[in-house]
């Protein structure tokens, strides 16, 4: 086989420009040697990446485990938060029962802190307001009362009554 490669050597007589080389001819022995060298190189590369499918499967398995770990950590955080909410609600007498139509419980609505300390402060405030309400009772301060204001038009009313009263007697 022949292979033509340009000769990078400059031609000294032509002002330094490279001159194209004539094609080389390989003997069958030389070609077999080149083929053997290339085949060895290909085998080394294939051997280098032979465990790629196994590594890919392990990486996929690790990703699945990481996803599962993230899910479990999230569930643990939620469970701890719910347990703290239940403890605080029980301590301060806040209802944890859902409403008749599936509405959230008082604890879910009122205790929204991210940790037990924040929920305790919220519960203390709610308990304080409930205590104030029980102490004062349900009072609507001006409901049901009458107000007496001075009658500015009293003289005009008396005049009108007397006028119509005299008209009826005649």
In whole angstroms, give the CA distance from residue 116 to residue 75: 17
| pLDDT value, residue 1 | 46
Please indicate, yes or no, whether the overall pTM of this predicted structure exceeds 0.85: no
| pLDDT for the residue numbered 143 | 76
d(Cα 83, Cα 96) in Å, to the nearest integer?
Answer: 11
Q: Chunked in runs of 10, what are the mean pLDDT values of the chain (170 residues)?
A: 49 51 76 92 88 85 90 94 91 87 88 90 88 79 74 87 79
Which pLDDT does position 144 carry in this prediction?
73
According to the model, what pLDDT value does residue 117 have? Answer: 92
Dihedral of CA atoms 31, 36, 38, 42 in degrees, nearest 10, equals 150
Q: Return the sign of the alpha-carbon dihedral for residues 80, 86, 89, 91.
A: negative
Q: How far apart are CA 109 and CA 119, in angstroms?
A: 11
* Residue 95 backbone class (left: φ over 0; alpha: ψ -120 to 50; beta: rest): beta
pLDDT of residue 170: 61
95 CB-near residues (< 8 Å, 6+ apart): 89, 105, 106, 107
| Kind plus residue range of the DSSP H or E element containing 88 | helix 52-92
Q: What angle do CA 125, 129, 130 make, to 5 degrees?
A: 115
Q: How many residues does the chain have?
A: 170
Handedness of CA 61, 63, 67, 70 (dihedral sign): positive
pLDDT of residue 121: 92
CA max distance for the chain: 154
The domain limits of the chain are 52-134
């Amino acid at each position: 086989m022949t292979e033509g490669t340009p000769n990078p050597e400059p031609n000294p007589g032509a002002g330094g420009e490279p001159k194209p080389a004539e094609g080389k001819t390989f003997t069958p022995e030389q070609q077999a040697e080149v083929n053997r060298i290339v085949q060895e190189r290909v085998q080394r590369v294939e051997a280098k990446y032979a465990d790629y499918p196994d590594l890919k499967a392990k990486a996929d398995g690790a990703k699945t485990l990481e996803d599962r770990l993230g899910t479990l950590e999230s569930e643990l955080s939620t469970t701890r938060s719910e347990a703290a909410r239940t403890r605080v609600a029980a301590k301060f007498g806040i209802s944890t029962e859902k409403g008749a139509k599936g509405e959230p419980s008082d604890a879910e609505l009122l205790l929204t802190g991210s940790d037990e300390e924040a929920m305790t402060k919220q519960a203390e405030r709610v308990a304080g307001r409930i205590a104030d309400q029980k102490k004062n009772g349900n009072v609507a301060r001006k409901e049901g009362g009458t107000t007496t204001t001075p009658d500015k038009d009293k003289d005009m009313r008396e005049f009108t009554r007397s006028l119509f009263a005299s008209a009826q007697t005649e």
